[in-house]
Structure 1
Amino acid sequence: MAAQPLTVLVIGATGSIGRLVVAEALARGHTVRALVRDRAKGAQLLPADAELVVGDVIRPETLPEAVAGADAIVLTLGSFGTGASSPETVDYAGVRNVLTALGAQEGARPRVALMTSIGATTRGSGYGRLLEWKRRSERLVRASGLTYTIVRPGWFDMNGPDEHRLVFLQGDRRRSGGPADGRVARADIARVLVAALTAPEAAGRTFELVAEQGAAPGDLGPLFAALDPDPPGSLDAVRDEANMPLDAEPRRVRDDLDAVN
């Protein structure tokens, strides 16, 4: 059971990571609220003891009910196309819309765990500049002033059966764009995201998550504690390359940062 039971809102709840986050949070004794676009699909994919709330991150008017009263929010957003499901619309603006909904609610200060990706500091990435938009979503979370943990996992489920020893890295130097950058099981990603919600040592940390040969750790606390915090007031993570200057960013992106601050 969880030492500190929370009401956890999972955004991206029906995705391959989100479903595991819901299950992990329930197993830890948290009350779980899952944001779903389709209630029938959500009921089919998620445990019966998860509360379903219908909404969509690209429809801001649907979010106030979802975020109301949440103690913690886990964001596992993932785009899968262009237009209404582009990296800018989902991976970035979806996070912005959630933060905006929170900002409109008096006293709302939930803890946030955001999943992005290893290689998030890569410039000129393919597929609609996905990694750049994920990095911008990280900046929004840091600018919000909320207590956060940002997890940048390696390639999903490409680890071997004996590769569950979790390794937390900082500096985002692995940028081959392939599994050589690091691999990790989806279930381990979910475990880390949920554990970060109640671990004091995880607050204000950003890290890359990969797995190497060995058994899964029983306690994640020492791994969180070994991390360096992000610099206070910084938009970027500790030791990230300074290769995305704010003054070169699109005006709409700078305006969003001002709005969530």
Structure 2
Amino acid sequence: MKAFVAGATGETGRRIVAELVQRDVPVRALVRNLERARELLPPQAELVTGDVLQPDTLPDAIGDSTVVFCATGAKPSLDPTSPYKVDNEGTKHLVDASRDQGIQQFVLVSSLCVSQFFHPLNLFWLVLYWKKQAEEYLQKSGLTYTIVRPGGLKNEDSSASIVMRSADSLFDGSIPRSKVARVCVEAVFCPDARNKIVEIVAKADAPKTEIAQLFAGVG
């Protein structure tokens, strides 16, 4: 297995890289700024330059990777096209390149409530709507996929347990990014994670359950 991580210097992406490195999985990290990436990512990660908004950069960047993690996301800005470009078009470019490269599994970090058009987060230039469009594109691509929809993302870890449900079952809650990363990485080791959409939050009163068991419990 060799992993490719898009959005590798983001708050969630860098945790996915760290989790992969911890498991001794070779990692190619897609970055735009090599200097910044060297400061943020473990030295074991192979840094490759490219941009999901520049599809011609992606085949060489993916190289001989066998699994892809997409943790990209539009940052809050005054640009109304940003979510459309990053969360929709950028993800589609990565899906296309992954299919052409024969990738074995594509793990996409999405968001809770993407199916709710009138959700307040869509006031940020329809960010949830565009994430949902990208999800559907991935589902129709022919690639083996796992779509992970986390609740509100927290930078600090906690002892709370992961709660995992099927699509459109959870509508509030939060989760540490480190737990999101663990779920994403476990997905490529767990047959029960394939071709599923899962929603995850963390709750202090939930029973502690192995991630593989959580995937198995989602229909």
> Does TM, scored on the shorter chain, surpass 0.5?
yes
Are 2:80 and 2:125, in contact at CA under 8 Å, matched by a contact in 1? no
CA displacement at 1:82 relative to structure 2 = 5.2
CA distance in 1, matches of 2:8, 2:156: 23
CA distance in 1, matches of 2:209, 2:128: 31
SS in 1 for 2:135: helix
CA displacement at 1:129 relative to structure 2 = 0.4
How many pairs align? 215
Given the alignment of the two structures, is residue 211 of structure 1 paired with residue 184 of structure 2, yes or no?
no
Q: 2:64 aligns with which of 51, 69, 80?
A: 69
Are 1:110 and 1:147, in contact at CA under 8 Å, matched by a contact in 2? yes
Q: Which residue of 1 aligns with 2:98?
A: 102
Gaps of 5+ in 1: 1-5, 176-180, 229-261
CA distance in 2, matches of 1:85, 1:48: 34
Are 1:75 and 1:113, in contact at CA under 8 Å, matched by a contact in 2? yes
Are 1:155 and 1:184, in contact at CA under 8 Å, matched by a contact in 2? yes
Structure number, greater radius of gyration? 1
Q: 1:170 to 1:62 in 2, by over 3 A?
A: same
CA distance in 1, matches of 2:157, 2:97: 40
Per-residue Cα deviation, 1:60-119 (whole angstroms, up to 9, x for no partner):
1111111221110010111013559711100111111112223444xx132111000001
Given the alignment of the two structures, is residue 88 of structure 1 paired with residue 69 of structure 2, yes or no?
no
CA distance in 2, matches of 1:55, 1:103: 18
CA distance in 2, matches of 1:86, 1:195: 30
Q: Which residue of 2 aligns with 1:146?
A: 143
Q: What letter corresponds to residue 8 of structure 1 in structure 2?
A: A
Q: 1:22 to 1:186 in 2, by over 3 A?
A: same
CA distance in 2, matches of 1:69, 1:82: 37
Per-residue Cα deviation, 1:177-226 (whole angstroms, up to 9, x for no partner):
xxxx0111110000000000110010011011011114884621111001
CA distance in 1, matches of 2:207, 2:42: 25
RMSD over aligned CA atoms reads: 2.1
Per-residue Cα deviation, 1:41-63 (whole angstroms, up to 9, x for no partner):
11111111100000011111111
The residue correspondences of 1:88-237 to structure 2 (distance < 5 A) are 88-105=84-101, 108-124=102-118, 125-157=122-154, 161-162=158-159, 164-175=160-171, 181-214=172-205, 217=208, 219-228=210-219
